[in-house]
Each structure stands twice: as structure tokens, then as C-alpha cells.
Amino acid sequence: MNERIVNVTRVFDAPRSRVFECWTRAEHLVHWFGPKGFTIHSCEAEARPGGIFKLCLRAPDGKDYWVRGEYSEVAAPGRLVIACAADDDKGVERLHEVIDVTFTESRGRTTVAVNAVARGPSDEAAAMLKGMDKGWAQTVARLDTHLRR
């Protein structure tokens, strides 16, 4: 089994309630979630334990990557845990990921700490895992851009 753990911490110049909202509402997720160059053309987010987390990331080459899962823990505005899977074109799980996010605020600025643990058995999963550090760094940078709008 291939596995990768990524930890990313970033400080945002925004109150944590606003940053938390960006992780839990589809109208925000579509603008920033995913690596640089990716777009989201379908997104559902129901931020409650057991609530749906589902989106389709479109790569710069036009290929779609479906992510399905659920919010397994929602403690607004301090913590989120999202358990999700990336599926192939036939709906077969290629990768499983647990994303644990904490939000702490100090003087109107929010520190977000992302701990993502992903695993998958195939060579394709191994390739996806190899790009995880870069992908999460770009995703968090895109959140910063979204918050500045």
C-alpha cells in the first residue's frame, strides 16, 4: 500500500469564521480547492458530521478527477475532518484521503494547519501521492488568493 502524509500550515489575513466558511461552502470551494490550473465544475458540500463532500476537479489537460466523501468531524470554526476518495472514470476508488484541518485565530489572522493522509494500492495512486506535497501547497495558496478577493 502506497501512503503519503502532508502537513501544510499557513497564516491568512482573515478571521477564522471566514476561512472556515471557505472550507465548508460550495460557493467558496469552487474558487480555490485544488492545485494551480485546476477548476471545479461540480461541487457539493454539506458541512455536518456525515454530510457530503463531493467535487469534480478538471485538470489543465481537460481530464476530470472526481472526489467523493464526507465531513466526518465539523467543530465550527476550529476543526474539520474530511474523509474522501478519488475515483477513476468507472467509479473505482484509486486513492483514499483523510484531511484534518485546524483553524486558530490571533489578532484577526487565521492559522490553518492541514494534515492530509492518503493511501492507495495501485501504481496510479503512487504517482498521485508523489505530487501531493506540491498539490496541497498550491491549493492552500489558492485559498489565500480567494480570501484576498
Q: What is the 3-state secondary structure (H, E, C) of the chain?
A: CEEEEEEEEEEECCCHHHHHHHHHCHHHHHHHCCCCCCEEEEEEECCCCCEEEEEEEECCCCCEEEEEEEEEEEECCCEEEEEEEEECCCCCEEEEEEEEEEEEEECCEEEEEEEEEEEECCHHHHHHHHCHHHHHHHHHHHHHHHHCC
**pLDDT at 142 > cutoff 90:** yes
The per-residue pLDDT for range 53-89, each reduced to its tens digit, is: 999 999 999 999 899 999 999 999 999 999 999 987 7
Q: Please count the structural domains in the chain.
A: 1
Closest by Cα among 1, 7, 33, 38 to 115: 7
The per-residue pLDDT for range 21-64, each reduced to its tens digit, is: 999 999 999 999 999 999 999 999 999 999 999 999 999 999 99
pLDDT score recorded for residue 90 = 79
Q: How far apart are CA 143 and CA 53, in angstroms?
A: 17
| Domain range for 137 | 2-147
pLDDT score recorded for residue 123 = 83
CATH number, domain of 102, equals 3.30.530.20
Q: How confident is the model at residue 125 (pLDDT cuts 50, 70, 90)?
A: confident
User: Cell triple for residue 35?
Assistant: 492545485
Whole-model pTM: value is 0.94
